[in-house]
Amino acid sequence: MKLSTRGRYGTRLMLQLAANYGKDEPLPLTEIARREEISVKYLEQLIIPLKAAGLIESRRGAHGGYVLAKAPDEITIGQILQILEGNISPVPCVKDPSFCIKYETCNTRKLWETMDKAIIQSVCDVTLKDALSA
Amino acid sequence: MKLSTRGRYGTRLMLQLAANYGKDEPLPLTEIARREEISVKYLEQLIIPLKAAGLIESRRGAHGGYVLAKAPDEITIGQILQILEGNISPVPCVKDPSFCIKYETCNTRKLWETMDKAIIQSVCDVTLKDALSA
DNA sequence: ATTTATCCTTCTGGTTTGATAGGAAAAATG
DNA sequence: CATTTTTCCTATCAAACCAGAAGGATAAAT
Ligand code: FES
Ligand code: FES
């Protein structure tokens, strides 16, 4: 039940961008890497899907970098995790019934659905803005 | 953020034992394996730590098998997962501060702690008895 | 032209997962 | 006592996943 470094580093990355939101200059990965002590090369990989999902915009070249595509209170931690970790539900069958052979007669599914809802609520209710001010 | 088969199969195993609770005969793994369509060999591995933790008692030899060591309403799903999956918190640093270098200045820890509490509550409030009657 | 950056693809060592295999020890049965 | 049934114990293994490094192409500013 561990969150991988993708989700954890990605959230830290997004918080840095959130802190920089509204400023003139975009924030380059080199700076984020320095502040968070994560390699640029690894951050590059994480930022690709975040950009593809439309959460981030980029500017290339010198004085380039990244900026949030939306305000910090319009992006939730749940969205970030969903993008970087894939489906975060504890068992696949919650989203994909064909995953479990004994789906029909399963007496544990209700359990995992309860767990799933608790997890989703705990991260989808929180925006970057909330996390920054906390 | 997936629960592994250890936690999922183990919970199903424990639910079978809970359903058998109070009966004269212990339930052998061959029978559980047949009902749940999981190999006996794999179930054997899962049941070792459950027994070591005192949740289960065994009787060897013919007509042997397993019985719950406590009533179904005294065993929670959280206990089972803790035993089979290890620490179920989404990030290790919640339990072990030395895990994260930037522990002191981390701005995401509060987030994961919230998530952790939500997960724990969703499984520790539920007993085998609850899960059976649900 | 040089520098600073994003962008894109690939590779790899290490760990975890999900089992299977083979047999030893104990208890009931005939 | 021999057989069967069952738990008990240890080892092995393929596949998947994780964390990250490497190498270079492209674009913009100076
Ligand atoms: S249906 Fe998927 S765990 Fe039961
Ligand atoms: S201290 Fe562990 S994630 Fe921040």
User: Nearest protein residue to D30's C1' (by CA)?
Assistant: A62
Tell whether the model's pLDDT for residue A39 goes beyond 90: yes
Per the structure, how many domains does chain A have?
1
Judging contacts by C-beta atoms under 8 Å, the chain A residues touching residue B134 are 107, 110-111
A110: its two tokens: 């209700």
Q: Which residues of chain B fall short of a pLDDT of 50?
A: none
Proximity of residue A30 CB to strand D below 7 A: no
- Protein-to-nucleotide distance from the CA of B46 to the C1' of D17, whole angstroms: 22
Residue A63: CATH number of its domain: 1.10.10.10
pLDDT of residue A101: 83
Q: What angle do CA A104, A105, A109 make, to 5 degrees?
A: 80
pLDDT of residue B36: 97
Q: Where does the pLDDT of residue A104 fall: very low under 50, low under 70, confident under 90, or very high at 90 and above?
A: confident
pLDDT of residue A98: 87
pLDDT of residue A29: 98
User: Nearest protein residue to C22's C1' (by CA)?
Assistant: B41
What is the mean pLDDT of the segment spanning A95-124? Answer: 93
Nearest chain B residue to A127 by CA: give it.
Answer: B111
Radius of gyration of chain B (CA): 17
Q: Which of B72, B11, B18 is nearest to B47 (CA)?
A: B11
Helices (H), chain B: 5-19, 29-36, 40-52, 77-85, 109-124, 128-133
pLDDT of residue B101: 83
pLDDT of residue B102: 86
Name the nucleotide nearest B66; use CA and C1'.
Answer: D7
Ligand with smallest separation from the Cα of A109: 1
User: Nearest protein residue to C19's C1' (by CA)?
Assistant: B42
Question: Could B89 and A11 be called an inter-chain contact, meaning their C-beta atoms sit closer than 8 Å?
Answer: no
pLDDT of residue B69: 98
Name the nucleotide nearest A60; use CA and C1'.
Answer: C6
Segments forming the whole domain that contains residue A116: 5-133
* pLDDT tens per residue across span B42-69: 999 999 999 999 999 999 999 999 999 9
Q: Where does the pLDDT of residue A121 fall: very low under 50, low under 70, confident under 90, or very high at 90 and above?
A: very high
Whole-angstrom distance, CA of residue A13 vs CA of residue B81: 31
Q: Per DSSP, what are the bridge partners of residue B7?
A: none
Tell whether the model's pLDDT for residue A134 goes beyond 90: no
* pLDDT tens per residue across span A4-23: 999 999 999 999 999 999 99
Question: Could A2 and B131 be called an inter-chain contact, meaning their C-beta atoms sit closer than 8 Å?
Answer: no
Protein residue with its CA nearest to atom 3 in ligand 2 = B109
Compute the mean pLDDT over every residue in chain A, rounded to the nearest whole number. Answer: 96
Tell whether the model's pLDDT for residue A102 goes beyond 90: no
pLDDT of residue B47: 98
Burial (CB count within 10 angstroms: exposed 0-12, middle 13-18, buried 19+), residue A28: middle
Residues B20 and B27 sit within 8 Å (Cβ to Cβ): yes
Question: Could A1 and B119 be called an inter-chain contact, meaning their C-beta atoms sit closer than 8 Å?
Answer: yes
A124: its two tokens: 């989808």
Q: What is the pTM of this model?
A: 0.95
Name the nucleotide nearest A32; use CA and C1'.
Answer: C5
